[in-house]
Structure 1
Amino acid sequence: MMLDGRFEERSDDPHVLARLSLLAGDDVLPEIPVSALEVDTVLTVADVFDPLKEQLDTYGLAHVQFREPPSRDQFRQLGEQLGTLMSETDPTVAPFVEQAVILNLISRFGHGADPTLQPFSSDYLTLHSECSSRPLNDQPRYITLLCLEPGDNPDRAQTVVVPMEAVAAQLPEPILQILMETRYRHCINGPMLARPTTNGLAFSFRDFRAAALDWTTEGKASASEVGAALRLLLHSMYRRDLMSGVCWRRGLMVVIDNCRFFHGRTSGPTMPGNQTRHLIRLRIL
């Protein structure tokens, strides 16, 4: 037996105030807890790949500082060593795509941009796992970001990461059970919001902000119990002590395991300045 419902956040939900404080405020989050691998010059992909992969397997994050950013081809080759590159097929982002798989994340728009253009705005991005509404085999395993220009203020527009394992540890077993029996309603073949993996519990979930989240549960939970589970999940995601961030520098590359970390972004200036933040991204299956 399945039950359908709709989740909509309330203005007095604890995560709403926490989200604004953490993502839209002026505080600088602590740096990600993985020391950067210093790379002077990229001669071959193999020079970088082995230590990068070791960091990624150990921590779920890799953190590499190049003296100068790798070329687009070198960046792509590194991604190909990690897995299969995902094509960027959304027509909305087509003007920002190179070589079909490299997305240019440029802060071209100010706050309040169309939601589909938020990755290219200076507004904050809510915490999420990438492509959470797609079937599991179409969700990337890794997100790779490389900084070409950090922008006018590197302390703003930080990429934020939150470990899923730490979020799961805040949730009581009955709540976790509900999340492991609930999925997005429109994604019939999609995964449950939470699922066990060899690295602990992984989530396929996005904070939809003020937009509605339509869900289906295959367990015995009532609509109010599913709503309570989602509110507690969101509250647990926005704990300051679980968050760390990236203050971008030219040549810095970060790889995020999409099965081990939620990620998002703090807000930048209200309008981009003369030197806009420019990252390039690969999504890797």
Structure 2
Amino acid sequence: MTEHVVILDSPELAAARSRVLAPGHRYPFPSVPRRTSPAQALAELVPAASADGVAAVRLDSPLRPEEFLTLGEALGDPVFETAPAVRQRVTAGRILNLVTDTPDTPDIDQQPFAAGWLLVHSESSARPLTRQPRYLLFQCLFAAASPADAQTIVIPFDRVADRLDPADLTTLTRLRYRGARHPLARVEEGRTVFSFRDPGPHPLVLDADPGVTAQEVRAAVTALCAAVHHTETVSAVPWQPGLLVLLDNHRAFHGRTRSSTQATGRHLQRLRIVTHANRHPTPQTDRETRSIR
């Protein structure tokens, strides 16, 4: 393994990020969320999320915490939210309350609650594959006052992979986060799955397989970030109270646009769910230090 440090601070990438994540632009959603019952929700959500990376249904009202947790447990093992930075925002040990009430901040632990944008990523991308959630399950308690603020955006892996040169995609399968065992890109069931978080202007420290040059590393990671930030590949969740959303972490990146105000009024609840094939440790052994990576 050879260590490489890459800084993706080009004006072109900065402009592309801004086009996708700045407030004001309204993104579409793949389909109109249908009204359904909690008992039928997963039967509709799982197939659609497998196809598009994300799916949504409308319930008559938001679920109570115990109902929301039970729904998540039908998919797998909801992850305990033990990070000290978020512990005061957690209900029933595993439901994270996402409320915008913090100014823009470089602190990665506070960014889910801040007015700034949330960089595009796959969930828990740097953790071992057995600790990466397969699903993110959300429900909306209150929507933002402005639908253009704090949009949860979704970018399917397939569309990103289609934009990459095969040589760059091959290089990504030979790159890992420093100390990690899994690559930034891998193939599962014939589809490309990414484990990656856009680092923004901050240094990205990677390990490369023998024979991969520094030029190939920079070219591949730059191409990946450029492929992610195309507005025509982006969809956004149309949050309304009672909306239930399933995101497949093996099918899509997600992020959030910037808010025009520190207090958007939006309140989401989120479960991170590891499927039963890759069970997650209990809170006694899971000592998380990061809330979103």
Residue 175 of structure 1: which of 165, 168, 176 is its match? 168
Kept in 2, the 8 Å contact 1:156–1:247? The answer is: no
- Aligned partners of 2:162, 2:249: CA distance in 1, in Å? 18
Give the conservation status (yes or no) of the 8 Å contact 2:50–2:251: no
1:282 to 268, 271, 274: 271
- On the 8 A contact 1:180/1:193 being kept in 2, the answer is yes
Match for residue 2 of structure 2?
3
Partner of 2:109: helix, strand, or coil? helix
Indicate the residue corresponding to 1:117 in structure 2.
110
Q: Residue 122 of structure 2 aligns with which residue?
A: 129
**SS of equivalent residue, structure 1 residue 116:** coil
Q: 1:85-104, aligned counterparts within 5 Å?
A: 85-104=78-97
Which segment drifts farther, 202-211 or 245-254?
245-254
For 1:225, the aligned partner's letter is E
Distance across 2 between alignment mates of 1:216 and 1:186: 7
Deviates more, 1:54-63 or 1:218-227: 54-63
In 1: Cα distance, 2:57 partner to 2:161 partner: 28
Q: SS of 2:86's equivalent?
A: helix
For the 8 Å contact 1:34–1:59, the answer to whether it is kept is: no
Q: Which amino acid aligns with 1:23?
A: L
Percent identity over paired residues: 36
Superposition pairs of residues 50-199 of structure 1, within 5 angstroms: 50-112=43-105, 114-187=107-180, 189=181, 191-198=182-189
Task: Indicate the SS of the match to 2:232.
Answer: helix
Question: What amino acid sits opposite 2:174 in the alignment?
Answer: E
Structure 2 residue aligned with 1:203: 194
5+ unaligned residues in a row in structure 2: which ranges? 275-293
TM-score, with length taken from structure 2: 0.89
Partner of 2:13: 15
1:176-218 Cα offsets, whole Å, 9 max, x none, are 111001000133x3x1000001151000000011221100011
CA distance in 1, matches of 2:106, 2:220: 30
Q: Once the two structures are superposed, what CA deviation does each residue of 1:142-166 show, in whole Å capped at 9, x if it has no partner? A: 0111110112212211100001011
**3-state SS of paired residue (2:77):** coil
Structure 1 contact 159–266 (Cα < 8 Å) conserved: yes
- Cα 1:4–1:207, aligned 2, differ >3 Å: closer, same or farther? same
CA distance in 1, matches of 2:261, 2:174: 40
